[in-house]
Amino acid sequence: MSEFNQPLGGNTMPRFAGPATMMRLPTQDSAQGLDVAFIGIPMDIGTSNRPGTRLGPRQIRDESRMLRPYNMATGAAPFESLQVADIGDVPINTFHLPKSVDIITAFYDDVLKHDCIPLTLGGEHTLTLPILRAMAKKHGPVGLIHIDAHADVNEHMFGEPIAHGTPFRRAQEEGLLAHNKVVQIGLRGTGYAPEDFDWCREQGFRVVQAEQCWHRSLAPLMAEVREQMGDIPVYISFDIDGLDPSVAPGTGTVEMGGLTSAQGLEIVRGAAGLNIVGCDLVEVSPPYDPSGNTALMGATLLYEMLCVLPGVKHSE
Protein backbone atom coordinates (compact mmCIF):
# COMPACT_ATOMS: atom_id res chain seq x y z
CA MET A 1 0.00 0.00 0.00
CA SER A 2 1.51 3.35 -1.01
CA GLU A 3 2.17 5.92 1.70
CA PHE A 4 1.09 8.61 -0.79
CA ASN A 5 -2.44 9.45 -1.92
CA GLN A 6 -3.30 7.99 -5.31
CA PRO A 7 -5.87 9.01 -7.91
CA LEU A 8 -8.80 6.60 -8.01
CA GLY A 9 -8.11 4.25 -10.92
CA GLY A 10 -10.45 3.68 -13.84
CA ASN A 11 -10.47 -0.09 -13.24
CA THR A 12 -11.50 0.38 -9.60
CA MET A 13 -14.36 2.79 -10.29
CA PRO A 14 -15.70 3.83 -13.71
CA ARG A 15 -14.26 7.17 -14.74
CA PHE A 16 -17.70 8.74 -14.95
CA ALA A 17 -18.29 7.87 -11.28
CA GLY A 18 -16.48 8.26 -7.99
CA PRO A 19 -15.47 11.48 -6.23
CA ALA A 20 -15.66 14.74 -8.21
CA THR A 21 -12.23 15.89 -7.08
CA MET A 22 -9.13 16.79 -9.07
CA MET A 23 -7.98 13.48 -10.57
CA ARG A 24 -10.39 11.78 -8.14
CA LEU A 25 -7.85 12.30 -5.35
CA PRO A 26 -8.73 12.21 -1.65
CA THR A 27 -9.88 15.43 -0.01
CA GLN A 28 -8.93 17.07 3.25
CA ASP A 29 -9.82 20.29 5.04
CA SER A 30 -6.40 21.94 5.07
CA ALA A 31 -2.94 21.68 3.57
CA GLN A 32 -1.49 20.08 6.68
CA GLY A 33 0.77 17.15 5.79
CA LEU A 34 0.59 17.82 2.06
CA ASP A 35 3.38 18.56 -0.38
CA VAL A 36 0.90 19.80 -3.00
CA ALA A 37 -2.72 20.93 -2.79
CA PHE A 38 -5.21 21.41 -5.59
CA ILE A 39 -7.41 24.41 -4.75
CA GLY A 40 -10.40 25.84 -6.58
CA ILE A 41 -11.29 29.53 -6.71
CA PRO A 42 -14.78 29.69 -8.28
CA MET A 43 -14.81 33.35 -9.19
CA ASP A 44 -15.87 35.49 -12.14
CA ILE A 45 -16.75 38.81 -10.49
CA GLY A 46 -13.62 40.45 -11.93
CA THR A 47 -14.36 39.55 -15.56
CA SER A 48 -14.85 42.21 -18.23
CA ASN A 49 -16.56 40.27 -21.01
CA ARG A 50 -18.18 36.83 -20.93
CA PRO A 51 -18.71 35.43 -17.41
CA GLY A 52 -18.81 31.80 -16.29
CA THR A 53 -15.39 31.14 -14.76
CA ARG A 54 -17.05 30.64 -11.38
CA LEU A 55 -17.98 27.25 -12.85
CA GLY A 56 -14.43 26.53 -14.01
CA PRO A 57 -13.03 24.63 -11.01
CA ARG A 58 -15.95 22.22 -10.93
CA GLN A 59 -15.69 21.34 -14.62
CA ILE A 60 -11.88 21.11 -14.53
CA ARG A 61 -12.24 18.58 -11.71
CA ASP A 62 -14.87 16.69 -13.70
CA GLU A 63 -12.76 16.49 -16.86
CA SER A 64 -9.66 15.49 -14.85
CA ARG A 65 -11.21 12.06 -14.37
CA MET A 66 -9.45 10.97 -17.56
CA LEU A 67 -5.98 11.69 -16.19
CA ARG A 68 -3.80 8.80 -15.06
CA PRO A 69 -0.95 8.93 -12.51
CA TYR A 70 2.08 8.41 -14.80
CA ASN A 71 3.32 10.88 -17.38
CA MET A 72 4.19 8.71 -20.35
CA ALA A 73 6.11 11.50 -22.12
CA THR A 74 8.33 12.75 -19.29
CA GLY A 75 8.45 9.74 -16.97
CA ALA A 76 7.17 11.82 -14.09
CA ALA A 77 5.45 9.82 -11.35
CA PRO A 78 4.30 12.56 -8.97
CA PHE A 79 2.17 10.31 -6.78
CA GLU A 80 5.18 8.15 -5.89
CA SER A 81 7.03 10.95 -4.09
CA LEU A 82 4.57 13.75 -3.22
CA GLN A 83 1.55 13.79 -0.93
CA VAL A 84 -1.22 15.41 -2.93
CA ALA A 85 -4.88 16.10 -2.17
CA ASP A 86 -7.75 18.32 -3.23
CA ILE A 87 -8.54 20.73 -0.40
CA GLY A 88 -11.64 22.19 -2.00
CA ASP A 89 -12.55 25.76 -2.87
CA VAL A 90 -11.74 29.15 -1.39
CA PRO A 91 -14.96 30.54 0.14
CA ILE A 92 -14.97 33.85 -1.72
CA ASN A 93 -17.56 36.61 -1.28
CA THR A 94 -19.18 36.47 -4.69
CA PHE A 95 -20.77 39.93 -4.21
CA HIS A 96 -17.58 41.80 -3.24
CA LEU A 97 -14.36 41.58 -5.24
CA PRO A 98 -12.02 43.43 -2.80
CA LYS A 99 -13.22 41.24 0.08
CA SER A 100 -12.70 38.14 -2.06
CA VAL A 101 -9.14 39.23 -2.80
CA ASP A 102 -8.38 39.43 0.93
CA ILE A 103 -10.09 36.08 1.57
CA ILE A 104 -7.88 34.44 -1.08
CA THR A 105 -4.67 35.86 0.38
CA ALA A 106 -5.61 34.66 3.88
CA PHE A 107 -6.45 31.20 2.54
CA TYR A 108 -3.08 30.91 0.77
CA ASP A 109 -1.22 32.26 3.80
CA ASP A 110 -2.51 29.20 5.63
CA VAL A 111 -1.61 26.82 2.78
CA LEU A 112 1.94 28.18 2.59
CA LYS A 113 2.30 27.95 6.37
CA HIS A 114 2.31 24.18 5.84
CA ASP A 115 5.11 24.38 3.23
CA CYS A 116 2.62 23.13 0.66
CA ILE A 117 2.72 24.07 -3.03
CA PRO A 118 -0.69 25.26 -4.27
CA LEU A 119 -1.99 24.38 -7.73
CA THR A 120 -5.02 26.55 -8.38
CA LEU A 121 -8.07 25.86 -10.52
CA GLY A 122 -9.62 29.16 -11.64
CA GLY A 123 -11.63 31.23 -11.70
CA GLU A 124 -10.65 34.40 -13.49
CA HIS A 125 -7.27 36.07 -13.50
CA THR A 126 -7.91 38.53 -10.69
CA LEU A 127 -7.12 35.65 -8.33
CA THR A 128 -3.41 35.62 -9.19
CA LEU A 129 -2.80 38.94 -7.44
CA PRO A 130 -3.90 37.80 -3.96
CA ILE A 131 -2.00 34.54 -4.41
CA LEU A 132 1.16 36.47 -5.33
CA ARG A 133 0.69 38.60 -2.21
CA ALA A 134 0.77 35.43 -0.11
CA MET A 135 3.72 34.08 -2.12
CA ALA A 136 5.77 37.23 -1.52
CA LYS A 137 5.20 37.02 2.23
CA LYS A 138 6.52 33.46 2.19
CA HIS A 139 9.23 33.61 -0.46
CA GLY A 140 9.90 37.27 -1.23
CA PRO A 141 9.51 38.52 -4.81
CA VAL A 142 9.06 35.62 -7.22
CA GLY A 143 9.88 34.97 -10.84
CA LEU A 144 6.83 34.70 -13.06
CA ILE A 145 6.07 32.64 -16.15
CA HIS A 146 2.81 34.08 -17.48
CA ILE A 147 1.04 32.45 -20.44
CA ASP A 148 -1.81 34.55 -21.78
CA ALA A 149 -3.31 36.29 -24.80
CA HIS A 150 -3.34 39.50 -22.76
CA ALA A 151 -0.69 41.26 -20.67
CA ASP A 152 -3.16 41.97 -17.82
CA VAL A 153 -1.34 45.19 -16.89
CA ASN A 154 -4.17 47.69 -17.26
CA GLU A 155 -3.89 50.74 -15.04
CA HIS A 156 -7.58 50.32 -14.17
CA MET A 157 -10.82 48.86 -15.53
CA PHE A 158 -13.90 51.08 -15.26
CA GLY A 159 -11.92 53.06 -12.72
CA GLU A 160 -11.28 50.02 -10.52
CA PRO A 161 -7.69 49.09 -9.64
CA ILE A 162 -8.38 45.37 -9.26
CA ALA A 163 -9.97 43.21 -11.98
CA HIS A 164 -8.88 40.38 -14.24
CA GLY A 165 -7.05 42.80 -16.56
CA THR A 166 -4.90 44.43 -13.84
CA PRO A 167 -3.19 41.76 -11.67
CA PHE A 168 0.34 42.03 -13.03
CA ARG A 169 0.35 45.85 -12.99
CA ARG A 170 -0.56 45.72 -9.29
CA ALA A 171 1.90 42.88 -8.59
CA GLN A 172 4.75 44.84 -10.15
CA GLU A 173 3.81 48.03 -8.30
CA GLU A 174 3.64 46.15 -5.00
CA GLY A 175 7.08 44.58 -5.45
CA LEU A 176 5.77 41.03 -5.65
CA LEU A 177 7.76 40.15 -8.79
CA ALA A 178 11.51 39.62 -8.96
CA HIS A 179 13.42 42.11 -11.10
CA ASN A 180 14.04 40.93 -14.67
CA LYS A 181 12.47 37.55 -13.87
CA VAL A 182 9.10 37.89 -15.60
CA VAL A 183 8.30 36.21 -18.93
CA GLN A 184 4.97 36.67 -20.73
CA ILE A 185 4.23 34.22 -23.55
CA GLY A 186 1.45 34.27 -26.15
CA LEU A 187 0.36 37.93 -26.03
CA ARG A 188 -1.55 38.92 -29.15
CA GLY A 189 -4.66 40.42 -30.67
CA THR A 190 -5.82 44.00 -30.96
CA GLY A 191 -5.03 46.88 -28.63
CA TYR A 192 -5.81 50.47 -27.83
CA ALA A 193 -2.40 51.83 -28.87
CA PRO A 194 0.86 50.60 -30.43
CA GLU A 195 2.48 50.90 -26.99
CA ASP A 196 0.12 48.48 -25.21
CA PHE A 197 2.85 45.92 -24.42
CA ASP A 198 5.61 48.50 -23.91
CA TRP A 199 4.83 49.07 -20.21
CA CYS A 200 5.77 45.42 -19.66
CA ARG A 201 9.04 45.79 -21.51
CA GLU A 202 9.85 48.98 -19.60
CA GLN A 203 9.53 46.99 -16.37
CA GLY A 204 12.07 44.47 -17.64
CA PHE A 205 9.51 41.81 -18.53
CA ARG A 206 10.37 39.53 -21.44
CA VAL A 207 7.41 39.68 -23.83
CA VAL A 208 7.09 36.81 -26.31
CA GLN A 209 4.18 37.65 -28.60
CA ALA A 210 2.22 34.80 -30.12
CA GLU A 211 3.53 35.50 -33.61
CA GLN A 212 7.04 34.69 -32.37
CA CYS A 213 5.75 31.24 -31.40
CA TRP A 214 3.97 30.27 -34.60
CA HIS A 215 5.18 27.13 -36.42
CA ARG A 216 8.01 26.38 -34.01
CA SER A 217 8.89 24.41 -30.92
CA LEU A 218 9.02 26.42 -27.69
CA ALA A 219 11.60 24.12 -26.11
CA PRO A 220 14.47 26.50 -27.03
CA LEU A 221 12.55 29.43 -25.51
CA MET A 222 12.05 27.53 -22.28
CA ALA A 223 15.76 26.69 -22.11
CA GLU A 224 16.38 30.45 -22.13
CA VAL A 225 13.66 30.97 -19.50
CA ARG A 226 15.26 28.39 -17.20
CA GLU A 227 18.58 30.18 -17.49
CA GLN A 228 16.92 33.53 -16.83
CA MET A 229 15.11 32.31 -13.71
CA GLY A 230 18.03 30.47 -12.15
CA ASP A 231 17.20 29.11 -8.70
CA ILE A 232 14.81 31.80 -7.45
CA PRO A 233 11.23 30.88 -6.48
CA VAL A 234 9.04 30.83 -9.61
CA TYR A 235 5.27 31.07 -10.03
CA ILE A 236 3.45 29.89 -13.19
CA SER A 237 0.19 31.56 -14.20
CA PHE A 238 -1.50 30.02 -17.24
CA ASP A 239 -4.55 31.74 -18.70
CA ILE A 240 -6.33 29.20 -20.89
CA ASP A 241 -6.88 31.91 -23.53
CA GLY A 242 -3.14 31.71 -24.17
CA LEU A 243 -4.12 28.65 -26.20
CA ASP A 244 -5.81 29.13 -29.54
CA PRO A 245 -9.63 29.05 -29.38
CA SER A 246 -9.58 26.12 -31.81
CA VAL A 247 -8.49 23.97 -28.85
CA ALA A 248 -9.77 26.10 -25.94
CA PRO A 249 -12.90 28.03 -26.91
CA GLY A 250 -14.43 28.00 -23.43
CA THR A 251 -13.13 31.27 -22.08
CA GLY A 252 -14.32 34.84 -21.77
CA THR A 253 -11.89 36.81 -23.96
CA VAL A 254 -10.84 34.65 -26.91
CA GLU A 255 -8.17 35.81 -29.37
CA MET A 256 -7.30 33.98 -32.58
CA GLY A 257 -3.75 33.00 -33.45
CA GLY A 258 -2.84 31.50 -30.09
CA LEU A 259 -0.59 28.73 -28.89
CA THR A 260 -1.21 25.12 -29.84
CA SER A 261 -1.94 22.57 -27.15
CA ALA A 262 1.47 21.01 -27.82
CA GLN A 263 3.16 24.39 -27.26
CA GLY A 264 1.28 24.71 -23.98
CA LEU A 265 2.74 21.38 -22.93
CA GLU A 266 6.22 22.45 -24.05
CA ILE A 267 6.04 25.56 -21.89
CA VAL A 268 5.00 23.71 -18.75
CA ARG A 269 7.35 20.78 -19.30
CA GLY A 270 10.11 23.28 -20.04
CA ALA A 271 9.77 24.62 -16.50
CA ALA A 272 11.07 21.35 -15.05
CA GLY A 273 14.07 21.97 -12.82
CA LEU A 274 12.94 25.40 -11.70
CA ASN A 275 12.15 26.19 -8.07
CA ILE A 276 8.40 26.30 -8.65
CA VAL A 277 6.46 27.45 -5.59
CA GLY A 278 2.94 27.61 -7.07
CA CYS A 279 0.89 27.55 -10.26
CA ASP A 280 -2.55 28.46 -11.47
CA LEU A 281 -4.73 27.68 -14.49
CA VAL A 282 -7.36 30.36 -14.97
CA GLU A 283 -10.22 31.63 -17.16
CA VAL A 284 -11.94 28.35 -18.05
CA SER A 285 -15.58 29.29 -18.66
CA PRO A 286 -17.63 26.10 -19.16
CA PRO A 287 -20.77 27.71 -20.66
CA TYR A 288 -18.81 28.53 -23.83
CA ASP A 289 -17.59 24.98 -24.43
CA PRO A 290 -20.27 22.37 -23.78
CA SER A 291 -17.87 19.66 -25.00
CA GLY A 292 -15.71 20.08 -21.91
CA ASN A 293 -12.54 20.13 -23.99
CA THR A 294 -11.36 23.51 -22.67
CA ALA A 295 -11.63 22.22 -19.11
CA LEU A 296 -9.80 19.06 -20.16
CA MET A 297 -6.98 21.23 -21.57
CA GLY A 298 -6.89 23.01 -18.22
CA ALA A 299 -6.92 19.82 -16.17
CA THR A 300 -4.12 18.34 -18.25
CA LEU A 301 -1.97 21.45 -17.91
CA LEU A 302 -2.50 21.40 -14.12
CA TYR A 303 -1.38 17.77 -14.08
CA GLU A 304 1.69 18.71 -16.13
CA MET A 305 2.41 21.49 -13.60
CA LEU A 306 2.30 18.86 -10.84
CA CYS A 307 4.77 16.77 -12.83
CA VAL A 308 7.43 19.52 -12.95
CA LEU A 309 7.38 20.42 -9.26
CA PRO A 310 10.52 19.96 -7.14
CA GLY A 311 10.77 16.50 -5.66
CA VAL A 312 8.79 14.62 -8.30
CA LYS A 313 10.07 11.09 -8.82
CA HIS A 314 10.68 9.86 -12.35
CA SER A 315 10.31 6.27 -13.50
CA GLU A 316 13.41 4.43 -14.58
Q: What is the pLDDT of residues 91-120, one digit of tens each?
A: 999 999 999 999 999 999 999 999 999 999
Instruction: Please indicate if the annotation marks 244 as binding a ligand.
Output: no
Count of domains observed in the chain: 1
125 is in an annotated binding site: yes
Q: Confirm whether 16 is domain-assigned.
A: no
Mean pLDDT across 125-139: 98
289 labeled binding residue: no
* 196 assigned ligand-binding residue: no
For 76, the 3-state DSSP assignment is strand
Q: Is 148 annotated as a binding residue?
A: yes
Residue 11 placed within a domain = no
- What's the domain range around 78? 35-308
250: domain CATH number is: 3.40.800.10
Per residue in 62-93, pLDDT (tens digit) is 999 999 999 999 999 999 999 999 999 999 99
29 is in an annotated binding site: no
Task: Report yes or no on 302 lying in a domain.
Answer: yes
Is residue 232 in a domain? yes
Residue 1 has pLDDT above 70, yes or no: no
Give φ, ψ of 153 to 5 degrees. Answer: -125, 30
Overall average pLDDT of the 165-174 stretch: 97
| Exposed e or buried b per residue across 235-272, where buried means at least 16 C-beta atoms within 10 angstroms of its C-beta | bbbbbbbbbbbebbbbbbbbbeebbbbebbbbbbbbbb
Structure confidence by residue, pLDDT tens digits, 264-283: 999 999 999 999 999 999 99
pTM of the predicted model as reported, rounded to 2 decimal places: 0.97
* pLDDT at position 2: 66
Q: Per the domain annotation, does 127 fall within a domain?
A: yes
- pLDDT at residue 128 is higher than 80: yes
Q: How many residues are given for the chain? A: 316
Pairing between β-strand 313-314 and β-strand 76-77 as defined by DSSP bridges:
antiparallel
Per-residue pLDDT tens digits for 173-191: 999 999 999 999 999 999 9
- Inside any domain, residue 102: yes
Residue 20 binned pLDDT confidence (cut-offs 50, 70, 90): very high
Instruction: Work out the mean pLDDT of the chain and round it to a whole number.
Output: 96
Rg (C-alpha) for the chain, rounded Å, is: 18
The verdict on residue 151 lying in a domain is: yes
pLDDT value at position 195?
Answer: 87
